[in-house]
A and B are shown apart, each in its own frame.
Chain A
Amino acid sequence: MSTATKQRPEAKKKAPVLDRDQFLKAYRSMRTIRSFEDKISEEFMKGNIPGFLHLYSGQEAAGVGICELLNDDDYVVSTHRGHGHCIAKGGDVIGMMKEIMGKQGGICDGKGGSMHIADFDKGMLGANAIVGGGPPLIVGAALSAKTLGTTQVGVAFGGDGSSNQGTTFEAMNLAVVLKLPAIFFFENNGYGEGTHASYAVGSRDIAGRAAAFGMPAFKVDGTDIFAVTEVCKKAVQHCRDGKGPVTIEASVPRFKGHFEGDPQAYRGENEIETLMKEQDCLVIARKAAIKQKLATAAELDKIDEEVAELMGRATEAGLAAPVPEISELMDNVYSSEY
Chain B
Amino acid sequence: MPVKTYREAINEALHQAMADDASVIVLGEEVSGGAGCEGSRDAYGGVMGITKGLLPAFGEERVIDTPITESAIIGAAAGAAQTGLRPVAELMFMDFFGVCFDQIYNQAAKFHYMFGGKSQCPMVVRCTTGAGWSAGAQHSQNLTQMVTMVPGLKVVCPTNAYDAKGLMLQAIKDNDCVIFVEDKMLYDTSCEVPDEMYTIPFGEANFYREGSDLTIVAISNPMHKVLAVVDRLAEEGITCDVIDPRTTSPLDEEAILESVETTGKLLLVDEMTPRCGIAADISSIVAEKAFSSLRAPIRKVTAAHSPVPFAPNLEQAWMPGDADIEAAIRELVEYV
Which residues in A have some Cβ–Cβ distance to B below 8 Å?
50-52, 102-103, 106, 108, 110-116, 128-133, 161-162, 164-167, 191-202, 263-269, 271, 323-324, 326, 328-330, 333
List 23 A-B residue pairs with CB atoms under 8 Å apart, sorted by A's residue number. A50-B134, A50-B311, A51-B135, A102-B134, A111-B309, A112-B136, A112-B137, A113-B134, A129-B95, A129-B139, A161-B68, A164-B69, A192-B29, A193-B30, A193-B33, A196-B36, A264-B43, A265-B39, A266-B38, A266-B39, A269-B39, A326-B313, A329-B304
Q: Shortest CB–CB separation between residue B148 and chain A, in angstroms?
A: 22
Interface of A is mostly: loop
Out of B34, B41, B43, B310, name the residue touching A116 (CB < 8 Å).
B310
Complex contact A268–B38 (CB within 8 A): yes
Out of B29, B37, B137, name the residue touching A266 (CB < 8 Å).
B37
Contacts A102-B311, A195-B33 known; 12 new A-B pairs at CB < 8 A: A102-B314, A110-B310, A130-B98, A132-B99, A161-B67, A192-B68, A196-B36, A200-B66, A200-B67, A265-B43, A268-B38, A328-B314
Out of B71, B305, B314, name the residue touching A111 (CB < 8 Å).
B314
Whether, in the assembled complex, B101 has its beta carbon less than 8 Å from a beta carbon of chain A, the answer is: no
Complex contact B37–A268 (CB within 8 A): yes
Out of B72, B139, B310, name the residue touching A102 (CB < 8 Å).
B310
Contact digits for B28-55, partner A, Cβ 8 Å, 1 yes 0 no:
0110011111111101100100000000
CA distance A115 to B35 in the complex (A): 25
Enumerate chain A residues within 8 angstroms of B305, measured Cβ to Cβ.
Answer: 330, 333
CA distance A271 to B34 in the complex (A): 14
Contact digits for B50-70, partner A, Cβ 8 Å, 1 yes 0 no:
000000000000000111111
Enumerate chain B residues within 8 angstroms of A264, measured Cβ to Cβ.
Answer: 39, 43
Complex contact B310–A51 (CB within 8 A): yes
Out of B36, B47, B70, name the residue touching A200 (CB < 8 Å).
B36
Complex contact B309–A329 (CB within 8 A): yes
Q: Which of B44, B99, B136 has the most CB of A within 10 A?
A: B136
Q: Shortest CB–CB separation between residue B9 and chain A, in angstroms?
A: 23
CA distance A326 to B317 in the complex (A): 7
Q: Which of B125-161 contact A (CB under 8 A)?
A: 133-139
Whether, in the assembled complex, B194 has its beta carbon less than 8 Å from a beta carbon of chain A, the answer is: no
Q: Shortest CB–CB separation between residue A255 and chain B, in angstroms?
A: 16
Q: Shortest CB–CB separation between residue B15 and chain A, in angstroms?
A: 20
Given known A-B contacts A267-B38, A329-B306, A192 and B67 have beta carbons under 8 A apart? yes
Complex contact B137–A51 (CB within 8 A): no
Q: Nearest 9 CB-CB pairs, A to B? A: A199-B36, A268-B38, A196-B36, A113-B310, A102-B311, A50-B134, A110-B311, A51-B134, A266-B34
CA distance A255 to B71 in the complex (A): 30
Complex contact B138–A194 (CB within 8 A): no
Contact digits for B303-329, partner A, Cβ 8 Å, 1 yes 0 no:
011110111111001100000000000
Whether, in the assembled complex, B96 has its beta carbon less than 8 Å from a beta carbon of chain A, the answer is: yes
CA distance A283 to B74 in the complex (A): 44
Enumerate chain B residues within 8 angstroms of A106, measured Cβ to Cβ.
Answer: 311
Complex contact B69–A333 (CB within 8 A): no
Complex contact A51–B133 (CB within 8 A): yes
Complex contact B37–A323 (CB within 8 A): no
Complex contact A195–B138 (CB within 8 A): no
Enumerate chain A residues within 8 angstroms of B99, measured Cβ to Cβ.
Answer: 130, 132, 165-167
Closest to B33 in A: A194
Q: Which of A131, A162, A194, A330 has the most CB of B within 10 A?
A: A194
Q: Which of B267-301 contact A (CB under 8 A)?
A: none
Q: Shortest CB–CB separation between residue A114 and chain B, in angstroms?
A: 8
Enumerate chain A residues within 8 angstroms of B66, measured Cβ to Cβ.
Answer: 200
Enumerate chain B residues within 8 angstroms of A266, measured Cβ to Cβ.
Answer: 33-34, 37-41, 43-44
Complex contact A110–B68 (CB within 8 A): no
CA distance A19 to B249 in the complex (A): 65
CA distance A311 to B137 in the complex (A): 27
Q: Shortest CB–CB separation between residue A205 and chain B, in angstroms?
A: 14
Out of A165, A196, A323, name the residue touching B311 (CB < 8 Å).
A323
CA distance A106 to B137 in the complex (A): 16
Closest to A200 in B: B67
Complex contact A115–B139 (CB within 8 A): yes
CA distance A263 to B314 in the complex (A): 30
Closest to A100 in B: B310
Q: Shortest CB–CB separation between residue A239 and chain B, in angstroms?
A: 26
Enumerate chain A residues within 8 angstroms of B134, measured Cβ to Cβ.
Answer: 50-51, 102, 113
Q: Shortest CB–CB separation between residue A167 and chain B, in angstroms?
A: 7
Enumerate chain A residues within 8 angstroms of B98, measured Cβ to Cβ.
Answer: 130
Enumerate chain B residues within 8 angstroms of A108, measured Cβ to Cβ.
Answer: 310
Complex contact A194–B311 (CB within 8 A): no
Out of B67, B71, B136, name the residue touching A195 (CB < 8 Å).
B67
Closest to A332 in B: B306
CA distance A200 to B317 in the complex (A): 40
Enumerate chain A residues within 8 angstroms of B47, measured Cβ to Cβ.
Answer: 193
CA distance A164 to B39 in the complex (A): 22
Complex contact A194–B30 (CB within 8 A): yes
Closest to B38 in A: A268
Q: Shortest CB–CB separation between residue B182 and chain A, in angstroms?
A: 18
CA distance A102 to B315 in the complex (A): 10
Enumerate chain B residues within 8 angstroms of A131, measured Cβ to Cβ.
Answer: 68
Complex contact B136–A115 (CB within 8 A): yes
Enumerate chain A residues within 8 angstroms of B318, measured Cβ to Cβ.
Answer: 329
Complex contact B314–A329 (CB within 8 A): yes
Enumerate chain B residues within 8 angstroms of A165, measured Cβ to Cβ.
Answer: 68-70, 99
Given known A-B contacts A110-B310, A195-B29, A326-B314, A132 and B136 have beta carbons under 8 A apart? no
